Each structure stands twice: as structure tokens, then as C-alpha cells.
Amino acid sequence: MTSKFEKYHQLRNQVDQLSEQLSSLHKSHMACKKGCDLCCMDYDVFPIEFEAMKEALQNKQVDVQKSVDGSCIFLKDHTCQIYEHRPIICRTHGLPLLFMNDDQWELSACELNFTEFDDEEFNTENTFPQDKFNSKLFLLNQAFLKENDLPYSDFDLIPIQKLKG
């Protein structure tokens, strides 16, 4: 039987593949390591991700934490307790992200990374095309809402901390 989250999981795999390639390419400029949790905030996600995470976590024991200053409830002892099921936004942490903002291309990367990298060297080949994947996710979410007759608008987001309990 085909899972209603099959296409979402395929997209997540594509994100993982590209993230791994970019992490490997930029290995010497990335300070990301186990125990660093600067990126772990209480993110909002589309209903398709929220529901996929809910389904994946339904029979798992997760010791959810209190969100402190916007920290993620799944972060415990500097470690993600739901790493395998984390949303797409968490799968690109630390990488150079290229996106459009107010009609201008912008680049974002963790302040701990690329400290000795010349910004001029960033290009479409060595950055993560965030808009491309966000657009794909938006369209998958739109179809998911329609197919499942869910009471959300196309732009509604849900804080992942609503997954607690």
C-alpha cells in the first residue's frame, strides 16, 4: 500500500542527498558537529510535515523538553531525539542556503561556518537551492491538504512543539 507521505519522503531523501554532497564539499569550512545545537529552534512546518512526523513518532517514547527561549522540544542534552524523523528545515542546518528575499538573492549560513571562505566563491553549484525545495514542499503540501480535506489554508504552518503529548 502506498503511504500518503511517499512523495514527501522522496523529497526528504533528495534533500538528504544534496545536503550530504554539500557537507562533503564544504567539509573543511563547516564547524557542525554532534553536540552543537545552535540551529535547533522551535520551527514551524507545513501540515504535511507535521502529520508525517506525528505518524512516525506515534509509537516512539520521546522525552519532550520544555522550550526555553524558543529551543526545540525534541532537543535533549544537545542531541536531537527524533533525528531520523526531523523536518526538512533541520536537514540543511549549517549549509550555505541560497534564497530570494525582496527580489534579491540572499545567502545564509551558520555564523560558525565559512569563517575563512570568500563569499565570492559561493555559486549555484556549491549552495543549497532553498527556494527550489521550498516550492516543491509547498506544492506537495497543497495537494496533501486537498486529498485529505484538511482545514488549513495553503500557507498555514504548525509549530512542531504542538507534537508534544
Q: Could you give the CA distance from residue 76 to residue 51 in angstroms, rounded to a whole number?
A: 22
Name the residue nearer to ligand SF4 (CB basis): 22 or 40. 40
Least separation in angstroms between CB 121 and ligand SF4: 28
Least separation in angstroms between CB 120 and ligand SF4: 31
CA-wise closest residue to 145 among 136, 135, 156, 161: 156
Name the residue nearer to ligand SF4 (CB basis): 43 or 144. 43
Enumerate binding residues for ligand SF4 (CB under 6 A).
40, 43, 72, 74-75, 80, 82, 86, 90
Least separation in angstroms between CB 134 and ligand SF4: 17
Name the residue nearer to ligand SF4 (CB basis): 80 or 117. 80
Name the residue nearer to ligand SF4 (CB basis): 11 or 72. 72
Which amino acid is residue 12, in one-letter code? R
Least separation in angstroms between CB 161 and ligand SF4: 9
Region of 44 please: left (phi>0), alpha (psi -120 to 50) or beta. beta
Distance of CA 47 to the CA centre of its chain: 14
Residue indicated by cell numbers 484538511: 150
